[in-house]
Amino acid sequence: MESPVTTVPAVLILLGPPGAGKGTQARMLEDRFGLVQLSTGDLLRAAVAAGTEAGRAAKAVMEAGSLVSDDIVIAILRDRLGEPDVAKGVILDGFPRTTVQAEALDTLLSETGQRINAAVSLDVDDAAMVARISGRFTCGSCGEGYHDTYKRPAVEGVCDKCGGTQMKRRADDKAETVGQRLEAYHAQTAPLIAYYANKGVLKSVDAMGDIDAIAGALATIVREAMD
Ligand code: AMP
């Protein structure tokens, strides 16, 4: 028996190619609005690390930079939406990534009479994404994001936020894999921009500039969308 989906006061979707800053901005929105970031990438990486059946099926696909099957991802998201903390409202980061997933999300939300407040497209130049992605790393303790060029920790190897010293780089952030991930985005995910425009919930933000300026633009959209 599937667990019921928790009723959520706000549902925000961040759309954009790998490297657009979805994760960074989702974490900033969590802090600012008390919302919960739901990253299917993070959930899948946790499943891979835990060696679950879904994780074993997803591992090679993720390493190749392709999309994991809709069935696996939808099941993972559905379970996560059944947990009580999502009652604060959610920011979907990296989901949906296909039309099938978008339709599944609509069905899940309709079970509890909920709606999508806004789907925000983070608009970026593809050419810049490879450099952005291949330089990034995170703190293994708290997840704070860093970058070799744009955001180094104040003390080399030490997290500014929590003092952790285990920095991690994602296996799929290698330059060879990034091209495949961008291709998957354009073929399978970019059509969702039109999907949400048709529903009247699409917003766009120029996501090439300063992280704080982008966060400010997003906060304005989120505030209006949650009214
Ligand atoms: P991300 O952390 O969002 O960049 O996702 C990392 C990888 O996880 C992707 O390249 C895909 O292989 C997989 N993944 C994450 N979210 C999804 C999704 N919604 N649908 C299919 N695959 C996904």
Per-residue pLDDT in tens (0 to 9) along the chain, 227 residues: 565 666 667 899 999 999 999 999 999 999 899 999 999 999 999 999 999 999 999 999 999 999 999 999 999 999 999 999 998 899 999 999 999 999 999 999 998 888 999 999 999 998 889 888 989 999 999 989 899 988 999 999 999 999 999 999 998 998 889 999 999 999 999 999 999 999 999 999 999 988 899 999 999 999 999 87
Bridge partner residues of 37 (DSSP): 91
Strand order in the sheet with 202-206: 36-39, 90-93, 11-15, 118-123, 202-206
Overall pTM > 0.85 = yes
Residues with CB under 6 A from ligand 1: 18, 39-41, 44, 61-62, 65-68, 73, 94-95, 97, 101, 172, 181
Q: Which of 97, 99, 181, 192 to mutate to test the pocket of ligand 1 (most atoms within 8 A of CB)?
A: 97
Rounded to the nearest whole angstrom, what is the distance from the C-alpha of residue 68 to the centroid of ligand 1? 7
**Atom 19 (ligand 1): residue with closest C-alpha?**
95
For residue 40, the CA-to-ligand 1 centroid distance in Å is 6
